[in-house]
């Protein structure tokens, strides 16, 4: 087991004691009535397919609002706001060449490329393609208005995602025209600058944002440059039709420091992994996407939503591998689709009913080519370089109905039919990774919700879901992972089964007072044929099906309006994610047994986020203290490697604002992360063949920034 390499061995105990003390203080102060605070906002969500208050949904849903996304935040990665959501672990990789490790209730933790097991949607347009792999690099946080996160069985509307849904909504334009340049600088050469324009021209509302980000990186070989651009136009296409057009682009160039072994981590956590510098491991991404959301109001009780989209993505990734034909991956992807949704509000025998039904079609067509990495240069090999055309298509239909049986009792039920096709064909003489498969499933859900009062309810939800393999997961069979292009039979893995999950959740939601709001959920999820790594060999992974796995846990979140203009937010997760039936895992050609009871790697067993915020009544000053605690997690399925046994870090931030006559306003912020200079591992690379599993997080670091706003 890896020992934590902190410079202060008692730090975690001190932070936990401080957290407990702060929570106790918050609860005590909240009961003092002499200081009035404004009531908590009524938040409206659309995770159920139509607008509802959070209190009226029989699901675990949290909303991250504009202030939590923007104020005193770096706005560099989606992991920043997601840290405050229970059940979600967005780990600190400090590696822009690799996708964020985001897991929901333990689903998606072992994804090697992209985000898997969680459905991503931005302004009604999917960020998850047909095979279930999601990309988040195009999400533009400086223009993001709110993020809705739903976990659990309430996913009939979305399909191919057992972990839930993350929906991002960017800001709408208007009513006034506003220009807003912004900047930030910080530790490790970090800097960001951008310009946002928003407003209305006639009946057209618009938001346009463009920014550039750079960092030298906390570690060697970890510098990155990224440019984001996002545009959103909204207008009425008729008296009953609202049209929203969205387009965005991301261009990323990032070095890849790779993971460290235990001895390297202890020696120097800032160093790059083996061969990262000599092979110049790195990644470039260029993606452009556009889509439309057309909301047609048929009458007062019926709406039709039509959402087509189209995009292209090009990824060029240089790995540390020196094996012929496999050190460079060149992936060009075209993706497109349509989601059509009908929302009807009616009555059935005097019972109010809301019906959501629709058809969801998506496709991504890939051209995957590989080369040899010769000291950072791509070299074509006629005998080993691959050239494949790969495709994923899904066609789903769904129906969900919400019955308000009485004022206190509600019932919700839904069903979804899903079909996903995966295929691979060769464009050259190497035909070992060709094949196809079709995955079909009928999934369903049901929930019952009882209102204890107008501001409190309890619910029970049940749902089934399934996750197909991604194109990446069917590329290598066990023989292909070990032998590469020289395997003697087919190297493809199209026999891999889809994972099937059944979940049960019991929850309680309440606005206990006008100043206290809480959500609590207990859940249990059993998965058959979970998709896990079956063979790890020198940078190539083959996936297999684990017969049975289980995820169960407790989530709780609470928001407080406190005296003296204080606010507090707390989110806690306890999670047990384990194997329930043993299976065989190969490290190269060595067979090992993953035992029943082993922890699923990449998943902390608990997490806590706590925030104490003070805002001056005129909002000219705000300051906050944040604390984040994560428990330990395994680095491989065998549980023979562990990261540091949990960690706790604290951050502080402050924002100062000035309003000036003539439409001008200014704001400045500073932020210090990890104020106690904690050394810890932020994330792990699951089942790394060479045991280079550890990705250290930065010690104490700082950031300052500001923005200028001018309203016409």
pLDDT by residue (tens digit) across 191-210?
A: 999 999 999 988 899 999 99
Distances (CA, A) of 151 to 61, 117, 354, 523, 700: 7, 11, 21, 10, 32
| % helix, strand, coil for the chain, step of 5 | 10, 55, 35
Q: In the chain, how many domains are there?
A: 1
Pairing of the two strands 241-255 and 694-696:
unpaired
Domain assignment present for residue 663? The answer is no
Q: Which whole number is the average pLDDT over 688-708?
A: 94
Residue 372 is assigned to a structural domain of this protein: yes
Decide if 543 contacts 532 (C-beta within 8 A): yes
Torsion angles phi and psi, residue 478, rounded to 5 = -60, -45
- Reported in sequence order, the residue ranges of 256-327 that DSSP labels E, i.e. its strands, are 282-299, 302-318
pLDDT higher than 90, residue 698: yes
**Dist. CA 172–CA 576, nearest whole Å:** 40
Least confident of 98-102, 153-157, 375-379: 153-157
Residue 1 or residue 303, greater confidence = 303
Is the model more confident about 662 or about 367?
A: 367
pLDDT tens across 407-462, in order?
999 999 999 999 999 999 999 877 788 999 999 999 999 999 999 998 899 999 99
CA distance 31 to 70: 30
Residue 658 falls within a domain, yes or no?
no
Give the integer Cα–Cα distance in Å for 344 and 32: 45
- What's the gap between Cα 111 and its chain centre? 12
Q: Is residue 53 part of a domain?
A: yes
Dist. CA 107–CA 553, nearest whole Å: 13
Average pLDDT, the chain: 89
Residue 708, in any domain of the structure: no
Distance from C-alpha of 492 to C-alpha of 489, rounded to nearest angstrom: 9
Look at residue 440 and tell me if it is in a domain: yes
- Cα–Cα distance, 531 to 116 (Å, whole number): 11
Residue 271 lies in a domain: yes
Residue range of the domain that includes 26 = 11-164+182-641+682-695
Read off the CATH number of the domain in which 375 is found.
Answer: 2.40.170.20
Question: Which band of pLDDT confidence, cut at 50, 70 and 90, is reported for residue 10?
Answer: very low
- What is the rounded average pLDDT of the residues 517-533? 95
pLDDT tens, 610-630?
999 999 999 999 999 999 999
- DSSP letter, residue 643: -
Q: b or e along 51-81 (b: 16 or more beta carbons within 10 Å of the residue's beta carbon)?
A: ebebbbbbbbbbbbeebbbbbbbbbbbbbbb
pLDDT tens digit string along 533-591? 999 887 788 999 999 999 999 999 999 999 999 999 999 999 999 999 999 999 888 99
- What's the pLDDT at 17? 43
Kindly indicate the confidence band of residue 34, based on its pLDDT and cuts at 50, 70 and 90: very low
Cα 460 off chain centre by: 25
Q: What per-residue confidence (pLDDT) applies to 4?
A: 44
| pLDDT value at 13 more than 70 | no
Q: What pLDDT does 643 receive?
A: 65
pLDDT, position 661: 82
CA separation for the pair 155, 505 (Å, rounded): 13
Q: How many residues does the chain have?
A: 712
Q: Is the pLDDT of residue 37 over 60?
A: no
pLDDT on residue 491: 85
Question: What average pLDDT does the segment 463-471 reach?
Answer: 92
What pTM was computed for the model? 0.92
Which residue reads 């292209």 in tokens? 312
Q: What is the pLDDT of residue 485?
A: 63
Amino acid 41: pLDDT: 58
Provide the pLDDT for residue 160: 80
Q: What is the mean pLDDT of residues 526-530?
A: 97
Quickly tell me which residue has 């979940």 as its tokens. Answer: 503
Distant-in-sequence, close-in-space partners of 664: CB < 8 Å, separation ≥ 6: 708, 709, 710
* Mean pLDDT confidence for 365-372: 95
Predicted pLDDT at 439: 96
In the chain, the percentage of residues whose pLDDT exceeds 90 is: 72
Is the pLDDT at 501 greater than 70? The verdict is: yes
Return phi, psi of residue 641, to 5°: -120, 135
Burial (Cβ within 10 Å: 0-12, 13-18, ≥19) of residue 705: buried
In this prediction, residue 486 carries a pLDDT of: 67
Other CB atoms closer than 10 Å to residue 300's CB: what's the count? 7
Question: Does 286 reside within a domain?
Answer: yes
pLDDT value at residue 644? 65
CA geometry: angle 362, 366, 372, nearest 5 deg: 155
Beta strands in 562-602 (DSSP E): 566-581, 583-587, 590-594
């Amino acid at each position: 087991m890896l020992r934590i390499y902190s410079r202060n061995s008692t730090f975690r105990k001190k932070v936990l004691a401080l957290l407990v003390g702060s929570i106790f203080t918050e609860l005590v102060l909240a009961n003092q009535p002499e200081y009035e605070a404004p009531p908590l906002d009524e938040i409206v969500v659309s995770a159920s397919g139509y607008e509802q208050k959070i209190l009226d949904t029989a699901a675990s849903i949290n909303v991250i609002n504009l202030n939590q996304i923007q104020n005193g935040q770096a706005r560099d990665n989606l992991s920043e706001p997601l840290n405050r959501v229970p059940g979600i672990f967005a780990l600190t990789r400090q590696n822009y060449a690799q996708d964020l490790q985001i897991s929901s209730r333990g689903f998606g933790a072992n994804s090697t490329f992209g985000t898997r097991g969680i459905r991503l949607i931005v302004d009604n347009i999917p960020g998850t393609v047909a095979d279930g792999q999601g990309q988040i690099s195009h999400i533009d946080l400086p223009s993001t208005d709110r993020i809705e996160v739903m976990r659990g069985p309430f996913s009939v509307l979305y399909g191919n995602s057992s972990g839930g849904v993350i929906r991002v909504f960017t800001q709408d334009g208007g009513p006034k025209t506003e220009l807003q340049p912004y900047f930030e600088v910080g530790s490790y050469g970090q800097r960001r600058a951008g310009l946002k324009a928003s407003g209305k021209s006639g009946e057209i509302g618009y938001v346009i944002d463009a920014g550039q980000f750079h960092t030298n990186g906390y570690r060697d070989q970890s510098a990155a440059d990224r440019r984001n651009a996002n545009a959103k136009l909204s207008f009425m296409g008729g008296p009953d039709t609202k049209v929203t057009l969205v387009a965005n682009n991301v261009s990323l160039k990032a070095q890849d420091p790779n993971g460290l072994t235990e001895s390297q981590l202890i020696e120097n956590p800032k160093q790059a992994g083996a061969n990262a510098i000599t092979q110049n491991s790195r990644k470039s991404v260029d993606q452009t996407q556009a889509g439309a959301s057309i909301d047609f109001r048929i009458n007062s009780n019926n709406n039709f939503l039509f959402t087509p989209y189209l995009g292209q993505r090009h990824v060029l990734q240089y790995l540390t591998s020196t094996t012929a034909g496999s050190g460079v991956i060149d992936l060009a992807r075209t993706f497109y689709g349509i989601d059509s949704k009908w929302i009807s509000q009616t009555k059935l025998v005097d019972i109010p009913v809301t019906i959501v039904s629709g058809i969801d079609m998506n496709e991504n067509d890939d051209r995957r080519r590989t080369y040899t990495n010769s000291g950072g240069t791509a070299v074509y090999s006629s005998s080993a370089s691959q050239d494949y055309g790969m495709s994923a298509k899904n066609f789903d239909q769904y129906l969900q109905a919400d019955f308000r049986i009485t004022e206190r009792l509600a019932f919700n039920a839904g069903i979804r039919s899903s079909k996903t096709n995966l295929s691979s064909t060769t464009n050259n003489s190497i035909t070992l990774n060709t094949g196809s498969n079709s995955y079909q499933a009928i999934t369903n859900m049901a929930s019952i919700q009882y209102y204890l009062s107008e501001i409190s309810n309890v619910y029970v939800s049940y749902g089934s879901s399934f996750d197909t393999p991604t194109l990446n997961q069917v590329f290598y069979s066990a023989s292909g992972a070990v032998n590469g292009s020289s395997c003697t039979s087919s190297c493809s893995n199209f026999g891999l089964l889809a994972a099937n999950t059944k979940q049960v959740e019991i929850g309680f939601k309440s606005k206990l007072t006008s100043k206290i709001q809480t959500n609590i959920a207990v859940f249990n999820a059993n998965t058959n044929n979970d998709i896990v790594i079956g063979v790890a060999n020198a940078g190539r992974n083959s996936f297999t099906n684990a017969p049975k796995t289980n995820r169960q846990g407790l989530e709780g979140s609470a928001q407080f309006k406190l005296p003296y203009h204080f606010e507090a937010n707390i989110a806690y997760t306890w999670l047990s994610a384990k194997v329930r039936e043993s299976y065989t895992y190969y490290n190269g050609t060595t067979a090992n047994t993953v035992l029943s009871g082993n922890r699923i790697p990449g998943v902390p067993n608990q997490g806590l986020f706590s925030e104490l915020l003070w805002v001056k009544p005129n909002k000219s000053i705000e300051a906050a203290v944040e604390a984040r605690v994560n428990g330990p997690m395994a680095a491989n399925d065998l549980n023979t490697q562990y990261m540091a046994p949990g960690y706790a870090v604290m951050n502080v931030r402050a924002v100062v604002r000035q309003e000036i006559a003539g439409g001008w306003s200014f704001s400045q912020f500073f932020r210090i992360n990890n104020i106690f200079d904690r050394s810890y591992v932020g994330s792990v690379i699951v089942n790394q063949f060479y045991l280079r599993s550890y990705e250290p997080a930065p010690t104490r670091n700082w950031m300052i920034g500001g923005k200028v706003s001018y309203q016409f």
